[in-house]
């Protein structure tokens, strides 16, 4: 063998050896993940629906990963504080964020220092609960048709509660009003609790809120559900028609929860987290607990959740334009 050929052969062996070492190291890193607790930032305070889902999922996730998944509530700026913390964290799989639809809506209506679609990698949509249009039971309104008739007869006389200006509840109701040609009076509140208090007392007449927020009040007949904003009837309340059935075309509004990581997470870690999240929400005990709040497990793939986020952004950009809300 010529000297040049020998050198080339040795160089090739060294290159193959280096590649094998790198591959082995990469496999070792993946196999060892996680080696310390994982922080799950939550873009809300304790006690709300997002916090509930986060803590519910964190338990089986901790068991499966062999490390604690610590819920870190970072309320403020409609979730932007949690988003900023997560976006600036290393993409090593040790800082994740549980978000809801409200954060997408906030980004549509406000300027942020992060880009929800570039600074994060989608792991999985975890759960979803359709919005429900409810009225105070003292009203002589028993259907969407009744509501539209009364609202057109007395424009702006009926008032609706929301969880704040440019909130999901606000934009959902404005979208509904636009599609049905009615005018309602908006009464914003600083949260679900305050809105629910006045809704139950009859100070405001109706609301669009998630099933997780109003389902117990509907079951106890303290509120009357006119329709659910999902593609099909909820399996937890099959007697309630959808808005689509009631003639409001393509009207789907969900309060959903999903898990993100800082952009650049290794695909092996992303797949591991997705696999364990899907297993967690498919557990019978987890699904049963979600059902108590009319919430269903989802467990989507990263690609499905990415596409879902894009569609959500398109819908709420349209709703913000209808409501004359922008982020300039």
Q: Are residues 141 and 222 in the same domain?
A: yes
When pLDDT is cut at 50, 70 and 90, the band that residue 27 belongs to is very low
Q: Are residues 87 and 57 in the same domain?
A: yes
* Per-residue pLDDT reduced to its tens digit, 177-227: 999 999 999 999 988 889 999 999 999 999 998 888 888 899 999 999 999
In the block, tokens 């930032």 appear at: 41
Q: Are residues 117 and 170 in the same domain?
A: no
Q: Distance (Å, rounded) from C-alpha 154 to C-alpha 134? A: 19
In a domain, 185, yes or no: yes
User: Percentage of the chain surpassing pLDDT 90?
Assistant: 73
Q: Are residues 135 and 123 in the same domain?
A: no
In a domain, 246, yes or no: no
Mean pLDDT on 276-300? 94
Last residue of a domain, which of 228, 243, 266?
A: 228
Q: Are residues 120 and 55 in the same domain?
A: yes
- Could you tell me if 258 and 98 are in contact, meaning their C-beta atoms sit under 8 angstroms apart? yes
Going from the C-alpha of 67 to that of each of 96, 137, 197, 211, 314, the distances in angstroms are 14, 48, 40, 32, 37
CATH number at residue 184: 3.40.190.10
* Per-residue pLDDT reduced to its tens digit, 29-59: 456 899 999 999 998 888 788 899 999 999 9
Q: Are residues 295 and 308 in the same domain?
A: yes
**Ordered DSSP codes for 155-186:** TTTSEEEESSTTSHHHHHHHHHHHHHT---EE
* Per-residue pLDDT reduced to its tens digit, 68-93: 999 999 987 767 899 999 999 999 99
When pLDDT is cut at 50, 70 and 90, the band that residue 13 belongs to is very low
Q: What phi and psi values does residue 188 have, to the nearest 5 degrees? A: -80, 145
In a domain, 277, yes or no: yes
In a domain, 147, yes or no: yes
DSSP, collapsed to helix, strand or coil, labels residue 270 as helix
CATH number at residue 76: 3.40.190.150
Q: DSSP alpha helices (H): ranges in the chain?
A: 3-32, 49-65, 80-87, 101-109, 144-153, 168-180, 192-201, 211-219, 267-282, 284-291, 302-322
In a domain, 233, yes or no: no
What is the reported pTM? 0.84
Q: Are residues 213 and 136 in the same domain?
A: yes
Residue 281: count of CB within 10 angstroms of its CB: 24
From 98-112, 116-130, 294-308, the region with the lowest mean pLDDT: 98-112
- Could you tell me if 126 and 100 are in contact, meaning their C-beta atoms sit under 8 angstroms apart? no
In a domain, 328, yes or no: no
Domain range for 206: 130-228
Q: What pLDDT sits at residue 77?
A: 72
In a domain, 93, yes or no: yes
* Exposed/middle/buried for residue 4 (C-beta within 10 Å: 0-12, 13-18, 19+): exposed
Q: Are residues 122 and 192 in the same domain?
A: no
Q: Are residues 303 and 266 in the same domain?
A: yes
Q: Are residues 136 and 124 in the same domain?
A: no
Question: Over the chain, what is the mean pLDDT?
Answer: 89
Total domains, the chain: 2
In a domain, 167, yes or no: yes
* Per-residue pLDDT reduced to its tens digit, 183-196: 999 999 988 889 99
Q: Are residues 136 and 123 in the same domain?
A: no
């Amino acid at each position: 063998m010529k000297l040049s050929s020998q050198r080339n052969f040795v160089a090739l062996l060294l290159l193959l050896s280096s590649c094998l070492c790198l591959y082995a190291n990469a496999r070792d890193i993946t196999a060892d993940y996680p080696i310390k607790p994982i922080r799950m930032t939550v873009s809300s305070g304790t006690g709300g629906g997002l916090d509930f889902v986060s803590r519910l999922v964190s338990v089986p996730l901790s068991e499966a990963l062999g490390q604690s998944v610590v819920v870190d509530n970072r309320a403020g700026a409609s979730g932007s504080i949690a988003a900023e913390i997560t976006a600036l964290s290393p993409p090593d799989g040790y800082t994740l964020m549980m978000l809801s639809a409200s954060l997408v809506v906030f980004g549509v209506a406000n300027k942020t220092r992060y880009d929800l679609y570039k600074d994060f990698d989608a792991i999985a949509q975890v759960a979803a609960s359709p919005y429900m249009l409810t009225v105070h039971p003292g009203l002589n309104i028993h259907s969407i048709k009744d509501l539209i008739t009364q609202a057109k007869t007395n424009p702006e006389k009926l008032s609706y509660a929301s969880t704040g200006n440019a909130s999901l509840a606000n934009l959902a109701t404005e979208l509904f009003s636009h599609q049905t040609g009615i005018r309602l009076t908006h009464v914003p509140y600083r949260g679900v609790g305050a809105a629910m208090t006045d809704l139950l007392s009859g100070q405001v007449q109706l609301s669009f809120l998630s099933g997780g927020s109003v389902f117990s009040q509907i079951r106890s007949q303290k509120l009357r559900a006119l329709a659910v904003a999902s593609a099909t009837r909820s399996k937890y309340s099959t007697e309630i028609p959808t808005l689509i059935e009631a003639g409001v075309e393509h009207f789907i509004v969900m309060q959903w929860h999903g898990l993100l990581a800082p952009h650049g997470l290794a695909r092996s870690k992303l797949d591991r987290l997705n696999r364990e999240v899907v297993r967690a929400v498919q557990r019978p005990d987890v699904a049963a607990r979600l059902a108590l709040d009319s919430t269903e497990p989802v467990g989507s793939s990263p690609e499905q959740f990415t596409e879902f986020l894009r569609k959500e952004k398109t819908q709420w950009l349209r709703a913000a334009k209808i409501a004359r809300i922008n982020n300039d």
